[in-house]
Structure 1
Amino acid sequence: MCLIAFHLQQHPTYSLILAANRDEFYDRPTQPAHFWEEHPELLAGKDLHAGGTWLGITKTGRLAALTNYRDPLSVQQDLISRGEIVKDFLTSTEHASTFIDKLEAQKTCYNGFNLLAGTIDELHYYSNMLPSGHPIEEGTHALSNKFLNTPWPKVDKARTELNDYVSLSETIETEKLFDLMRTSEQAPDHKLPDTGVGLDLERKLSPAFIQMPNYGTRCTTVVLVTHDGSVHFEERTYTDGNLTETIVEKFSVVSEQSEETKSLK
């Protein structure tokens, strides 16, 4: 993922409202969101190159999403794919804080990343470019390729627009969230971050929705979860900026049993 905006626990109808764009090279093979055959409780897209995912939710209410940390000088080859982190969390039964503690001990095995992990009721944030993770406060947040709520133009715009919308609307329309993530206007130069990729590329990467000759927004995902655990998951896939596929899944969250509880049966 390269932009995630979400509202946690402060809406009268929804415990979680999330919209996210995945930006990736067009030639990287990808399977759209689906329930995985090897993990039937897991709903997520799949990176067919490395086998992981960038965002997913389970029927037990576990949720995780990941963005890369943009620092081209620190990138190393032959490290573990960051998509494995999301898959590993979603297919485990560990609490997010426990998972993050273990991940902290292996932080150098991955290139820079940001992780949202937890449940539909409680999310934690962790970056391997920071000393530790922490639970995320209730309210509206956004994340791109720096840290949570870093004031990049598209982060501020997405966070502000999402907060304004959910503050005024008891019923959330998915179309409004897709529109929010479809913004393609570039930020002015004086507001651009300097992440080491050069001014021209900073401009092209500054919108929420990216369109470049070989790289751009591949899909947008919206997740709505009501306080009683009803999930609406909708994903739109794009090819060269054009909508090519829409997937909608709806289900109700069931309680997750820990391995300890299962062993007692």
Structure 2
Amino acid sequence: MKQKGRFTMCLINFHFQDHPNYKLIIAANRDEFYQRPTAPTQFWEDNPDILGGRDLVGMGTWLGITKSGRFAALTNYRNPNEDQNNKKSRGHIVRDFLESDMTATDYLTSLQKEKNAYPGFNVMAGSPEQLFYYNNIQNDISEISHGTHGLSNEFLNTPWPKVTKGKEQLADYVTRKPHVEADALFDIIADAEEAPEANLPNTGVGLELEQKLSPMFIQTPGYGTRCSTVLLIDRNNYVTFVERTFDQGAFEQENRFSFNIHESS
């Protein structure tokens, strides 16, 4: 796979405001070129209010949460013919929201005004109480409904095989379990089975690569799933954030954080 010089996050499965014990349940994979420098999840030294991994090229992030409960995550929009020269790093979108005190709708409205400054992206932003979705292709801001959703590299809930499978497995698990186990969510997104050729989307990358990119957990030479993240926010605003990092498909380490969301002053 030819490197375009921008990081991606390729799958976010989430269950929002539709569980008796949890406001938000997220199981996500970040896929990236193995050589791109990345810091594992931590509270940032330059902004200790933010918890998330960090892309050490653009100094942004693909998924993060603050101690006051501001949350955002993004994926790229797959377009192999897009000219990304002189574009801003998409990781700034999440970082800037987490660092700001703007409401999610105000922030996304301001983002619309500079939508062409970034390569194609999807972003979800808000809090455990209310989430909004925006992408700079359709250019519409919408409130995310309660229930189970999936976001990969087209639009929210586009029925790519990995999105459909992830949504179905997540919904099946969380609707049966009053207490959600992080290990069970990691098991779901560790699925490396390629989709049948007949079910593949056509995003312009060619059939062979399309198939290699079709699993929830990707392993190809030079590119694949670099980390998996489980984020749980319960009805008492207790946050559990667990990240597993991988080195060319092999488990590397687990980082676990927990805290209570506090009201921002």
- TM normalised by structure 2 equals 0.96
Displaced runs of 4 or more, over 6 A: none
Residue number among 237, 244, 252 corresponding to 2:260 in the alignment? 252
Is structure 2 residue 32 aligned with structure 1 residue 30?
no
* Structure 1 partner of 2:105: 97
- Alignment partners' CA distance in 2, 1:65 and 1:3: 10
Please state how far the C-alpha of 1:37 moved relative to its aligned partner.
1.1
Where do 5+ consecutive residues of structure 1 fail to align? 258-265
- Alignment partners' CA distance in 2, 1:115 and 1:94: 15
Residue number among 229, 232, 238 corresponding to 1:230 in the alignment? 238
Please state how far the C-alpha of 1:255 moved relative to its aligned partner.
1.0
- Alignment partners' CA distance in 2, 1:139 and 1:255: 26
Deviations 1:209-236 (A, max 9, x none): 0000100000000000001100000000
Is structure 2 residue 159 aligned with structure 1 residue 168?
no
1:59 aligned partner, one-letter code: K
* Structure 2 partner of 1:263: none
Residue number among 116, 122, 138 corresponding to 2:124 in the alignment? 116
Root-mean-square deviation over aligned CA pairs: 0.7
- Alignment partners' CA distance in 1, 2:69 and 2:213: 32
3-state SS in 1 of match to 2:220: coil
* Structure 2 partner of 1:52: 60
State whether residues 209 and 217 of structure 1, in contact with CA within 8 Å, keep that contact through their aligned partners in structure 2.
yes
Superposed, 1:5-154 pairs within 5 Å as: 5-154=13-162
- TM normalised by structure 1 equals 0.96
2:96 aligned partner, one-letter code: D
Residue number among 191, 205, 209 corresponding to 1:197 in the alignment? 205
Aligned length: 257
State whether residues 75 and 112 of structure 1, in contact with CA within 8 Å, keep that contact through their aligned partners in structure 2.
no
State whether residues 31 and 47 of structure 1, in contact with CA within 8 Å, keep that contact through their aligned partners in structure 2.
yes
Please state how far the C-alpha of 1:75 moved relative to its aligned partner.
3.2
3-state SS in 1 of match to 2:208: helix
Please state how far the C-alpha of 1:41 moved relative to its aligned partner.
0.7
3-state SS in 1 of match to 2:81: helix
3-state SS in 1 of match to 2:40: strand
3-state SS in 2 of match to 1:70: coil
Identity %: 52
Please state how far the C-alpha of 1:132 moved relative to its aligned partner.
1.1
State whether residues 19 and 222 of structure 1, in contact with CA within 8 Å, keep that contact through their aligned partners in structure 2.
yes
- Alignment partners' CA distance in 2, 1:254 and 1:139: 25
Where do 5+ consecutive residues of structure 2 fail to align? 1-8
1:64 aligned partner, one-letter code: A
Residue number among 153, 176, 194 corresponding to 1:186 in the alignment? 194
- Alignment partners' CA distance in 2, 1:70 and 1:52: 19
State whether residues 153 and 206 of structure 1, in contact with CA within 8 Å, keep that contact through their aligned partners in structure 2.
yes
* Structure 2 partner of 1:262: none
Deviations 1:131-155 (A, max 9, x none): 3111100000000000000000000
3-state SS in 1 of match to 2:148: strand
